[in-house]
Amino acid sequence: MNENLAHAQDFSKLQAVKQIIGDRNMALTEFDDALFEAMVEKVIIYSPTEYEFIFESGQRIKAIAGK
């Protein structure tokens, strides 16, 4: 992929998150669907208790329910 195109796409994703967050000066107190959808590319379910979040940034976080 062209480096300039990749940079433009990353910037666009960042702008989308910034727009959703807006000028909030308080912590989230409940789940925010729009923020989740803007930040998470996909979730891989390995088992009923093990899953992985893949963020738009490419970062991956594995989680085990109940731990």
Element (H, E) at 62: strand 60-64
- What total number of domains does the chain contain? 1
Range of 38's domain? 3-64
Closest by CA to 36, choosing from 20, 12, 14, is 20
Q: What pLDDT, in 10s, does the model give residues 40-54?
A: 999 999 999 999 999
- Sorted by sequence, the CB contacts under 8 Å of residue 11 that are 6+ apart come out as none
Residue 63 is encoded by which pair of tokens?
Answer: 């989680």
Widest Cα–Cα separation across the chain = 42
pLDDT for 45 = 97
Burial of 28 (0-12, 13-18, 19+ CB in 10 A): exposed
pTM of the model: 0.64
Mean of per-residue pLDDT scores for the chain = 84
